[in-house]
């Protein structure tokens, strides 16, 4: 049998003891009319493409909590190893922690083997972990990188199945992105064309899917070099409110020009007040 690997993490890991308690609490809270806090999800459009010299990974930057945007500029392209990066869709915490755990184990593995890690190794580790948790870890990943065997791209689903393909999309905006890919993908593209294709695919997700939005991040991985372009394209820059109108500052100013409102009648009633008492109290300014 295989010997114990140095990268054995604690069998403690995730504990599901509170699931039953949470279910009861949720039922109680719903009776009172409140809703329990929703896990933050990366609504997301993520995608990847294999081109002539390597892989290009792309992602949007919106993180949602129910119907509200929790983070307008979150980073969904996670570091796995110097030559491997992973985009994550699904539950934000799950993708973050899963990629960090595998990144850590892969570094130990790489030190043990004395070699640059391979994308297929990362794929194995991720799929075996996700399968072990039977889909309860909601992490849908696009894993890409370049190793001694060339460029590789995998899509990994929460239940632990993987597909090795030349182009993949994941997340709620994946259908929009896949439409762009199916139209324009060609094998062995040049870098600029591949970047444009990924950018357009993510843009399709951003503008046609409510769960995706904000900017487009890109990660170009080639043999020996990684370009982490964050942001690559700020497709949704926040507009600037007009500062001054007719020389008057607009923000927070409610002074209007004389004559804005027409005066119909005017009656002035002087109030005769007599000074009763006058006292001065110094302020303690020490």
Partner 1 sequence: IVSTFNNYNDLYPDWTQTEVSTGTSIMAVEFEGGVVIGADSRTTTGAYIANRVTDKLTPIHERIFCCRSGSAADTQAIADAVTYQLGFHSIELDEAPLVQTAASLFRDMCYRYREELMAGIIVAGWDPRRGGQVYTVPVGGMMTRQPVSVGGSGSSYIYGYVDSNYRAGMSKEECLKFTAEALTLAMERDGSSGGVVRLAVISEQGVERQVILGNQLPKFSTV
213 touching partner 1, by CB under 8 A: no
- 45 an active-site residue? no
User: Taking CB under 8 A as the rule, does residue 211 contact partner 1?
Assistant: yes
**Active-site residue among 44, 45, 64, 121?**
44
Only segment of 104-112, 159-167, 187-195, 248-256 that touches partner 1 (CB under 8 A): 159-167
Residue 127 interacting with partner 1 (CB under 8 A): yes
Contact yes or no for 117/84 (Cβ under 8 A)? yes
Given a contact cutoff of 8 angstroms between Cβ atoms, the answer to whether 206 and 69 are in contact is no
Is 104 a binder of partner 1 (CB under 8 A)?
no
CA distances from 75 to 18, 191, 225 (A): 29, 22, 20
Q: Is the Cα dihedral 117, 121, 127, 133 positive or negative? A: negative
Listed in sequence order, the residues at least 6 apart from 55 whose beta carbon sits closer than 8 Å to its beta carbon are: 48, 49, 144, 145, 146, 151, 152, 153, 220, 221
When asked if residue 39 is in the footprint of partner 1 (CB under 8 A), the reply is yes
Minimum Å gap between C-beta 207 and partner 1 is 15
Which residue, 117 or 158, is less far from partner 1 as judged by CB? 158
What are the backbone dihedrals phi and psi of residue 23, each rounded to the nearest 5 degrees, phi first? -65, -40
Residue 125 pairs in a beta bridge with: none
Q: Which residues are catalytic?
A: 44
Contacting positions for partner 1 (CB under 8 A) = 19-20, 22-23, 26, 38-39, 41, 43, 64, 66-67, 91, 94, 124, 127-128, 130-131, 134-138, 140, 155, 157, 159-163, 165, 171-172, 174-175, 210-211
């Amino acid at each position: 049998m295989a010997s114990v690997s140095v990268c054995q993490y604690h069998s403690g890991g995730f504990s599901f003891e509170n699931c039953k308690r949470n279910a009861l609490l949720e039922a109680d809270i719903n009776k009172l009319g409140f809703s329990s806090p929703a896990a933050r999800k990366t609504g997301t459009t993520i995608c990847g493409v294999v081109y002539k010299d390597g892989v290009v990974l792309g992602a949007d930057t919106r993180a949602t909590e129910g119907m509200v945007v929790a983070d307008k500029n979150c980073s969904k392209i996670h570091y796995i190893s110097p030559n491997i990066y992973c985009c994550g869709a699904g539950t934000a915490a799950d993708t973050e922690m899963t990629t960090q755990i595998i990144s850590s184990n892969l570094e130990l593995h790489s030190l043990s083997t004395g070699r640059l890690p391979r994308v297929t190794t990362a794929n194995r580790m991720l799929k075996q972990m996700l399968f072990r948790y039977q889909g309860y870890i909601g992490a849908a990943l696009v894993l890409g990188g370049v190793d001694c065997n060339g460029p590789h791209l995998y899509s990994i689903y929460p239940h632990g199945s993987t597909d090795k393909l030349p182009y993949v999309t994941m997340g709620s905006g994946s259908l929009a992105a896949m439409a762009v890919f199916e139209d324009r993908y060609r094998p062995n593209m040049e870098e600029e064309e591949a970047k444009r294709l990924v950018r357009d695919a993510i843009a399709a997700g951003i503008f046609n899917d409510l769960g995706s939005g904000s900017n487009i991040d890109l990660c170009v991985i080639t043999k020996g070099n990684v370009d982490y372009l964050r942001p690559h394209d700020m497709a949704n820059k926040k507009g600037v409110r007009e500062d001054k109108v007719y020389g008057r500052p607009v923000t927070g100013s409610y002074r209007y020009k004389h004559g804005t409102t027409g005066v119909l009648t005017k009656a002035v009633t002087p109030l005769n007040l007599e000074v009763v008492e006058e006292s001065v109290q110094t302020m303690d300014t020490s």
